Structure 1
Amino acid sequence: MPNDPLASPAPWWTLARGDGPVLATAIHDGHAVRTALADRFALDDAGRLREEDPFTGDAIHDAPNRFVAHRSRFEVDLNRPLDTAVYQSPDQCWGLEVWRSALTPAEVEASRDYHRRAYAELGRVTDQMAEDFPAFVVLDVHSYNHRRDGADAAPTPVEKAPDINIGTFSMPRERWAHVVDPYLSFLSDYDFNGRRLSVAENLAFQGKGEWSRFVHDRHPKQGCAIAFEFKKFFMDEWTGAPDPAELDAMRRLMRDSVAVLGDLIQSRDP
């Protein structure tokens, strides 16, 4: 469409629908930006990639129900409320200068429109799942940096940066304890390429993002949204180079997680 303010060389997102009560999402996987903003960025590709969540979309590829966003969080962050979803100053995004010059109100609104449409899609899919199942899980998969002082500097200690962090802040924790507690045990016991990963709840992150909050607000008795963070042990966060063996293990873990969570969510009425 000529002059389409949302036009991009990449699709908005990929949505797959299949069987089961678990929807896996990777809303920060994307790196694409819409054509109209491509020359407005002060931040280069490598700088954007460092704060995005690459390979999380690949990790959930075997989930029958999955949503993978292809737009960069630096165009619009789907895990923030609409009014703060477009970064407009360094204090909103790790001190980074994102734009060469301030975006116009029209440019901000065009980015917010993507946010509105993504949440409309999330609402539509979760409404259908609520019709099909007494309860369902949204497994919202992210990743985070642990070498912020530089490629050659010491990483953040594991006591502050577990391999996996589960965020449960926005959920009614007691309601979903029969899902979360055994899932944490499953993750701690999982054979991940011959080792056990460190697992924590609400340590590095608490699950305060808008994506999970939306699910809990829209489906307070049926929707269990779990914010899942992989530490970027599976890649070099400064060069972006992945470790293929670790990516394969992540994909197996996510495949097995979908099966385990599906069983747990259906083990009792919500």
Structure 2
Amino acid sequence: MHRFSIEEIIYKIQKEECFEAVTEDYSFMIKIDGYAPYVCGAVHDGHQFRKSLWENCLHTEYDRWYEEDPCTKEMVQSHPIVIAGLDSRFEYDLNRAPETAIYHDAWGKQLWKSPLPEAEREHSLQKHQNFYQVVHALVEKIQSKYGKALVFDMHSYNWKRWDREVPTWNLGTANIDNERYGHLAESWSAKLGTIKLPNAIKSTSKINDTFQGNGYFLKYITQNFKNTLVLATEISKIYCDEYTGILYPEVVRSVETQLKELIPLQVKEFQEDK
């Protein structure tokens, strides 16, 4: 994996080069093994939290981990195009618009001991902007090459905080063109429901049950690229213990193995859809 500037990454995408890179500041990674008609994104996979923020932060490392989406990049790492955040959403949230990307409080708890200095805010927002410059160049390239593009927007959520039974998989479709793509969202949800998990973990799939797909990553791409469908795909954190931070690698591997088969099937269906 190489370390490139944002300008170098965008240049390589425009020239249709295959590469794997981290940005110069290590804020996100991108891998392109081939220019396939789809992209896998994991915007909340990151856990890094820059040192200049440590002393001012009221949340513990576990508090941050609990709200992040660990292993979501790993679940799609075998696909040809992967882009994933390396920084924690507590530094800046890639799934929020720039004006709300830096938290004042998080999940009901104040985040900073004292207000962030302007220089720290600007530092974080520059990283956010850099990510979306690359996303724009990437989706633009794929859509121009194939006429349309499919983006798998991978997330996870804490199922134990709900006081009712919630699905293993949730697909958020409130902000896609449902008249045009609703049937494809339903077929993706159905495919997710076929995934078999180890340790007798139940696998269910629903649409707009726990989340509706209101994230900025989906909205940004949908608003800028009329022929690109973003499937906001959430897995409940059945692949770890939310309360202790222990990961279950056999569950993560099982999901990755089955998505390796299911994602290409969904891409084929999307490409053949008129």
Is the aligned partner of 1:242 residue 2:263? no
The one-letter code sitting in structure 2 at the alignment partner of 1:259 is P
Task: Work out the percentage of aligned pairs sharing the same amino acid.
Answer: 27
Alignment partner, residue 78 of structure 2:
62
Is the aligned partner of 1:87 residue 2:103? yes
The answer on whether the counterparts of 1:79 and 1:210 sit within 8 Å (CA) in structure 2 is yes
| SS in structure 1 at match of 2:179 | coil
Q: How far did residue 35 of structure 1 move?
A: 3.2
CA distance 1:10–1:147, shift in 2 (3 Å): farther
Q: How far did residue 189 of structure 1 move?
A: 2.5
The answer on whether the counterparts of 2:169 and 2:193 sit within 8 Å (CA) in structure 1 is no
Distance 1:61 1:192 in 2: 19
Q: How far did residue 34 of structure 1 move?
A: 2.3
Stretch moving more, 101-110 or 62-71: 101-110
Where is the strand percentage greater, Structure 1 or Structure 2?
A: 2
Q: 1:211-222 maps to which residues of 2 (within 5 A)?
A: 211-220=217-226, 222=227
Can you list the C-alpha shifts for 1:145-171, whole angstroms capped at 9, x where unaligned? 1223xxxxxx6422xx21000001111
The answer on whether the counterparts of 2:35 and 2:142 sit within 8 Å (CA) in structure 1 is no
Q: 1:95-244 maps to which residues of 2 (within 5 A)?
A: 95-148=108-161, 156-158=163-165, 161-193=166-198, 197-220=203-226, 222-244=227-249
| SS in structure 1 at match of 2:142 | helix
The one-letter code sitting in structure 2 at the alignment partner of 1:51 is E
Q: How far did residue 22 of structure 1 move?
A: 1.4
Alignment partner, residue 43 of structure 1:
59
Q: How far did residue 119 of structure 1 move?
A: 0.7
| SS in structure 1 at match of 2:272 | coil
Alignment partner, residue 272 of structure 2:
267
Is the aligned partner of 1:12 residue 2:59? no
Q: How far did residue 9 of structure 1 move?
A: 10
Q: How far did residue 195 of structure 1 move?
A: 6.6
Q: How far did residue 117 of structure 1 move?
A: 0.7
| SS in structure 1 at match of 2:160 | coil
Q: How far did residue 79 of structure 1 move?
A: 0.5
Can you list the C-alpha shifts for 1:63-98, whole angstroms capped at 9, x where unaligned? 11111100000000011111000001x2xx211221
Can you list the C-alpha shifts for 1:107-137, whole angstroms capped at 9, x where unaligned? 1121111111111111010000011112211
Q: How far did residue 196 of structure 1 move?
A: 5.8
Distance 1:210 1:131 in 2: 22
CA distance 1:14–1:257, shift in 2 (3 Å): farther
Alignment partner, residue 75 of structure 1:
91
Provide structure 2 residue ranges, at least 5 long, that are not aligned to the other structure.
Answer: 1-22
Distance 2:59 2:266 in 1: 38
Distance 2:152 2:29 in 1: 16
Distance 1:173 1:268 in 2: 14
Distance 1:143 1:40 in 2: 27
Is the aligned partner of 1:53 residue 2:69? yes
Distance 2:224 2:81 in 1: 19
Is the aligned partner of 1:252 residue 2:257? yes
The answer on whether the counterparts of 1:164 and 1:229 sit within 8 Å (CA) in structure 2 is yes
Q: How far did residue 254 of structure 1 move?
A: 2.6
Q: 1:26 aligns with which of 42, 45, 50?
A: 42
CA distance 1:37–1:172, shift in 2 (3 Å): same
The answer on whether the counterparts of 1:30 and 1:69 sit within 8 Å (CA) in structure 2 is yes
Alignment partner, residue 152 of structure 1:
none
Q: How far did residue 238 of structure 1 move?
A: 1.4
Distance 2:25 2:48 in 1: 6
Q: How far did residue 178 of structure 1 move?
A: 4.0
Alignment partner, residue 8 of structure 2:
none
The answer on whether the counterparts of 1:63 and 1:254 sit within 8 Å (CA) in structure 2 is no
Q: How far did residue 10 of structure 1 move?
A: 7.1
> What RMSD, in angstroms, separates the aligned Cα atoms of the two structures?
1.9
Distance 2:190 2:58 in 1: 44
| SS in structure 1 at match of 2:73 | helix
